Amino acid sequence: MIRFIYKRLLGAIPSIFGLSIITFLLIQLIPGNPVLTYLRVSNIQASEEIVQALRVEMGLDQPLITQYLQWLTNVLHFDFGTSFISKRSVLDEMVLHFLPTLQLTTVAFLLIIVCSIPLGVTSALHKGKWFDRLTQLFAFSSVSLPTFWLGFLLIYFFSVQLDLLPVLGKGSVVHFVLPATTLAIGYIGTYLRLIRASTIEVLEEPFVLYAQARGLKERTIVWRHILKKAASPTLTGLGMSFGNMLGGTIIVENIFAWPGMGQLLVESIVNQDYPMIQACVLLLGIVFFLTNLIVDILCGWLDPRIRLAGDRIK
Amino acid sequence: MKTFRQHSILIFSATVLVLFTAVAIFAPFIAPNDPNYVDLTQKLQPSSKDYPLGTDHLGRCQLSRLLFGARTSLSTAFIVMSITFCISVPIGIFAGYMGGIVDTWFIRICDMLMAFPSFLLSLAFVGMLGPSYGHLILAMVCVQWVFYARFIRGMVLSVKERSFVMAARICGTSPFKIAIKHIVPTILASVIVLLFMDIGGVILSISGLSFLGLGVQPPYAELGMMINDSKPYFRSHPMLMMYPGLIIFLVVISFNVFGESLRQWLQVERRL
């Protein structure tokens, strides 16, 4: 097991490099001169000397590779520079906005697990019946719903018409209900189908027939035998979507005025606050990457075949 | 019996899609008014003879804007998918067929681009380049092509070992000709099914970016942008928001159902 984790960590190094290179190169995409953009955003009149001095100060006169190494060193020291707009440290702003995003994603993630597993397993057990048809319909619709529209629909029905839930902002527990539901619904559809498919596959295995022949209760068979076997592919997918949801929160946060990373990112894009954009992308990328890594390791722990796959070839 | 049900779903979703496409193509002829004509004396009107679905906050005809919005969304998705197809097929075949160092570098670049959630990456591209229609398409393609190229590479790796490709190689056929005459026809069905399965997601991303103000720019109508425009009025005029969302939903679900039944019909393996 330790060997497996060690190998996975080693294999992750190129990905981390890729992540940093892409994020660094993003800055190179800015049309025109970054110095002029900085001056314009800061409302400073651009003169020849100021531009030259800033170029040297920002290290833009250096070759690209030196710039990259300098940037990487700074990042490794948690120095992401200062925001063009608020002139505060980018790190401080990010820490402030990261926690709400993490909370929202976690709540939505739990919602996905709680809803999709029972629905998926039940519809697999009643394959072809009306319940199965209904969940299939729900699965197809939920994947096709635009998040931004769904958010407004929920606000309209639950806050405006029924006046049950608060609309915007973040405060108590009830503030989580609408944003987390909006974020989760599309994924519930996806995982419901995934869990249904893998459960149907497992149902045809001989060990299920054997368990039935032994006269075990259906509940025992489902919980002890089927779920355990069907969990592995689901887990991989779920882990990957935890990172993907960080991308999905961008829209949800902007609908519900949720003070998280997504709002910060879009605000920075509108304000052309490049250091902030870069840092947000890097942070979200790292979280995405880490969740995938953790899922990988968890799968190896659950299923020895994955853990030993590499060794057997040797 | 089951095949009949599958076929009927396939045909039904295809019909809906053809209908939407026709409406999008002929929008200039169907639309009752100019979608970009601003008339502030007519703002937020209920439906009438001149404006069948009423007007928005700038007095523009809602129905015309919906038609043109659907036109923008569908054509953008179509452009993105075509460019993605044209880029990823040659690159995927090249990497898979050549193998060796080319393939290693190809996989490395793929890993780098796939290390981010795809919506985040397109958002970052648009954010850095600045919001505009061209940049939207560029950003979408930059993110999309990797998945296809990688998928195609995987298929090429197995097709390469099949006997008819071997036979062609032994006969001395040039690699270019093998790719065109043997590999492309073998993988084409799977790639097209994938394109159809993903196009719904692409439409959602495009309208999502436009909703955030980073995609299609005013005055051109786009469904996601229309929802954003109607944000301040959705308590008093909820219908301004209902229609565009409903159209996106219908278009996307038709594409998803169509893609899924096409996959079952052609018996293409589901991608992980």
Per-residue pLDDT of B168-209, as tens digits, reads 888 888 888 888 888 888 888 888 888 888 898 899 989 888
What's the mean pLDDT in A178-202?
86
Q: Does A246 sit within 8 Å of B117, measured CB to CB? A: yes
CB hemisphere CA count around A224 (13 angstroms): 10
CB hemisphere CA count around A4 (13 angstroms): 21
Q: How far is B231 from chain A (nearest CA, A)?
A: 8
User: How many CB atoms are closer than 10 A to CB A10?
Assistant: 9
Per-residue pLDDT of A101-159, as tens digits, reads 888 888 888 888 888 888 888 888 888 888 888 888 888 888 888 888 888 888 888 87
Q: How far is A219 from chain B (nearest CA, A)?
A: 30
pLDDT of residue A314: 35
Q: Does A251 sit within 8 Å of B204, measured CB to CB? A: no
What's the mean pLDDT in B121-146?
87
Residue that is written with structure tokens 């029924």 in the block? A162
Q: Determine phi and psi for A89, rounding to 5 degrees.
A: -65, 135
Given a contact cutoff of 8 angstroms between Cβ atoms, the answer to whether B243 and B64 are in contact is no
Per-residue pLDDT of A17-34, as tens digits, reads 888 888 888 877 777 666
Separation CA B224–CA A152 (nearest Å): 12
Q: Does B127 sit within 8 Å of A144, measured CB to CB? A: no
Q: Does B108 sit within 8 Å of A14, measured CB to CB? A: yes
Cα angle at A159 between A155 and A164, to 5 degrees? 135
Q: How far is A122 from chain B (nearest CA, A)?
A: 22
Of A144, A247, A289, the CB nearest to B249: A144
Model ipTM over 0.85 = no
DSSP string, B112-135: HHTTS-HHHHHHHHHHHH-S-HHH
pLDDT of residue B272: 41
User: How many CB atoms are closer than 10 A to CB B179?
Assistant: 19
Residue that is written with structure tokens 């898979």 in the block? B96
Separation CA A232–CA B165 (nearest Å): 36
Q: Does A18 sit within 8 Å of B112, measured CB to CB? A: yes
B→A interface, C-beta within 8 Å: 108, 111-113, 115-121, 123-131, 200, 204, 207-208, 211-214, 224, 227-228, 231, 234-235, 238, 241, 244-245, 248-249, 252-253, 256-257, 260
| Annotated domain spans of chain B | 2-271
What's the mean pLDDT in B206-227?
84
pLDDT of residue A161: 72
In one-letter notation, the amino acid at residue A264 is L
Query: Quick one: fold of B2-271?
Result: MetI-like fold (1.10.3720)
Separation CA B169–CA B183 (nearest Å): 12
Q: How far is B168 from chain A (nearest CA, A)?
A: 31
